[in-house]
Structure 1
């Protein structure tokens, strides 16, 4: 089926473009916000050639496509008229009842999803530079190092600008204004004043200067307030003056407010969040790895992992490293190991082809083909992959593995990010052991016990409703 035909069927089966509030895509999924999810023909969608499965989570109706999702997304956008129709302010985005947590997950995913590709690329490049430096192939004085380091570090250094643009779109305000606010936070003069330890005041109000490069929370809060202020200004300023004076008043009010109030409070909150995450981790890194890695791919299935990504990045910003993602990284290899076992054991031609492709994608960090096309439909391989992930996570916790200097979403190319810039130690050796252990555990369990039932490529539909009730 062509991308155009598949997109046409998807739009039709989710209830037509009039039922779509918005649509975005991540690495493998079309993520719809529908006015009424009950209208969507889920059973028909899951049987379409080119669709792996359908997931309802966090107020989103997610159609899992795989590696061709960007091509299908482009056709969907054409069909719905260039951009997704926006919901009325007085209308709920979905008739599905959303909890506070599901709204939070949806918010975080909306902000970070558009930048994940660039973030992962920058993080992987930075990791490779660390690895090349450690082995002595390059040094920090070489031109090639300086240029590539600038390419890898620019995303994280100027992250408030990029997240400001993304957050502006999520909060439905002028994204260029929120990006400008982010730029003000990392403006070179302000960084120089901070580094020099100089004092600064604004209308006799003392400013607590901070370094906002690589920060996350300040610009998100500033963007939220920008959206609220914009609505007020649009009501009180005549339409003939709005083009100039709405952005002017927002800039004059929000930028100083960001430096005086939002920024300092956000930085302190970020430090508390990092300390809280580390305090839980420090109780027992081994147990934390066993539990978190054991259930992580389930969280990924339902899109709940987005709530943790802000923690990963916040740890990097405040601590210089993140131990949590080091525990979870092995889960990609566990799912890949299970898919590899199916590829070697199954005699069914279609499943062998699917599992082989899923194995290749898994090593590159994309697990959806393995999960939805192979492991989950066969049930046991998915369970064994979760067990393998738990084993790998426990080993990573035992060796206190850490991620340094960026963010990687998974796969072999992200491994160098876990090398300490000061040199390779048992932290990294233990981390690599965790990857191998997760892959081998899942592979052996699946190879020996995972195909006792008849192999089938039947697709699955997963529905999850997150509840705050215990």
Structure 2
């Protein structure tokens, strides 16, 4: 008998029995259930189990926070429950039955950007490091940069742009690949489509405005402008879905004997043509309108109000999954304006959520069980991953979540009011300062201090009010 046998049996009982489990998998710290009838799960009973450190529901999955021993417990649970081991992808597919149309739409958007986020984060760190060595006058009495005084650092600066350019200028390749991966179509065709949007043969998107003459493909009866879509998001998304839809439809009607030859040709060639004739120009226009609205709103006389609303509401957006939309907007802003004033507020919101948990660590310093969740959650928040902090601690009590939202809004007003811009998306926490444009780093640092201090002070203050007392009573402390 395993040391987790009794615990696993309790979990199975409280979750609603084997028949209530559609799929189950796990990640680094959490069990992820897709339940036939979520209402059958006894949440309070589950949270009373010693090994359980919290629960929450997201994207149609009921998630139980276990901790570092989750894999061992998971193996015992699967054996006792008599259910099959599910992959994360299978669990995601099963979870869709519990999601409405909007949740599914956001889920699709998340599935596109999630695989390429590691590259975007690396690119942000690289551009940030190039900022430090290439734009900050730190040598010879503050008159020269490292690049100006050292051939080694000049070489590093030039070399790193090779990676930065590959990530951001050739972003459409990653997007079209991610779409083909998600749709279950031929991934190499997605990659090829992406390359046709950024090919060196085309006029670079950044040079269109100043070009005296735009080259064309001349077919005699029609001409197509040879314009690239470097760093463009929406044209790549539209083109990627057209390719995937064409391939899926063709698979249904083309005989298997000739499918390998006919389907790729009849899917890729029309998709590339449609992308350059129709979808590219339309997508560029849509992206420009979206980025202009966001940028104008943030830089207008009421930009502080927009910032306060966004800073306050961003954490609730994370709960719904709607925050994935900001990735596309950030990337579009970077393409249109050479930076983003939206992303700094996201980094500040993450810091604020971590700071609220930090205050809860102090308030519940004698609760060793809770610290197993709160300490790692604070660290992950400060490094840009907020879910463990939000679902494991802040939403559980309520008042820390509100304190973090207020702190985030305050810091966002400072950021936008000072016109802080980031060169790119980066690590969405304290290291995010490396992605901020050099001239704004000091102001952003002040906003970071506010995002740390305000949530801590408010969380401690709220804990002494009726709101805090009721929260402790509800949890049974």
Q: How many Å separate the matches in 2 of 1:218 and 1:241?
A: 31
CA deviations on 1:7-31 (whole Å, 9 max, x unpaired) are 99999969789935x9897x98788
TM-score by length of 1: 0.80
| Residue 372 of structure 1: how far off its partner (Å) | 2.4
2:256 counterpart (216, 236, 239): 239
| Residue 279 of structure 1: how far off its partner (Å) | 3.2
RMSD: 4.1
CA deviations on 1:316-350 (whole Å, 9 max, x unpaired) are 11221211222332112212222222223334232
The more displaced of 269-278 and 207-216 is 207-216
Q: Secondary structure at the match of 2:56?
A: strand
1:19 paired with 2:32, answer: no
Alignment match, 1:433: 446
1:147 paired with 2:150, answer: no
1:367 paired with 2:379, answer: no
Q: In 2, are the aligned partners of 1:18 and 1:85 still within 8 Å (CA)?
A: no
Q: In 1, are the aligned partners of 2:381 and 2:429 still within 8 Å (CA)?
A: yes
Specify which structure has the bigger relative contact order, considering alpha-carbon pairs within 8 angstroms and separated by 6 or more residues.
1
1:453 paired with 2:466, answer: no
Distance 1:315 1:62, change over 3 A: farther
Alignment of 1:227-266 (within 5 A): 227-266=244-283
1:137 counterpart (141, 146, 150): 146
CA deviations on 1:422-460 (whole Å, 9 max, x unpaired) are xx43x4332222111121111112233425538869999
Aligned pair count? Answer: 443
Extract unaligned runs of 5+ from structure 1: 461-470
Q: Secondary structure at the match of 2:146?
A: coil
Alignment match, 1:125: 126
Q: How many Å separate the matches in 2 of 1:67 and 1:414?
A: 27
More helix by share: 2
Alignment match, 1:323: 341
The more displaced of 38-47 and 122-131 is 38-47
| Residue 291 of structure 1: how far off its partner (Å) | 1.2
The more displaced of 283-292 and 240-249 is 283-292
Distance 1:238 1:192, change over 3 A: same
Q: In 2, are the aligned partners of 1:167 and 1:178 still within 8 Å (CA)?
A: yes
Alignment match, 2:173: 161
| Residue 166 of structure 1: how far off its partner (Å) | 0.9
Alignment match, 2:142: none
Distance 1:271 1:336, change over 3 A: same
Q: In 2, are the aligned partners of 1:158 and 1:213 still within 8 Å (CA)?
A: yes
Alignment match, 1:356: 375
TM-score by length of 2: 0.79
Q: Quick check: which has more Rg, 1 or 2? A: 2
Extract unaligned runs of 5+ from structure 2: 137-144
Alignment match, 1:465: none
Q: Secondary structure at the match of 1:321?
A: coil
Q: How many Å separate the matches in 1 of 2:234 and 2:70?
A: 29
1:444 paired with 2:447, answer: no
Alignment match, 1:397: 416
Q: Secondary structure at the match of 1:185?
A: helix
1:98 paired with 2:100, answer: yes
Alignment match, 2:191: 179
Q: How many Å separate the matches in 2 of 1:290 and 1:343?
A: 27
Q: How many Å separate the matches in 1 of 2:381 and 2:20?
A: 33
The more displaced of 201-210 and 182-191 is 201-210
Q: How many Å separate the matches in 2 of 1:8 and 1:194?
A: 61
Distance 1:29 1:160, change over 3 A: farther
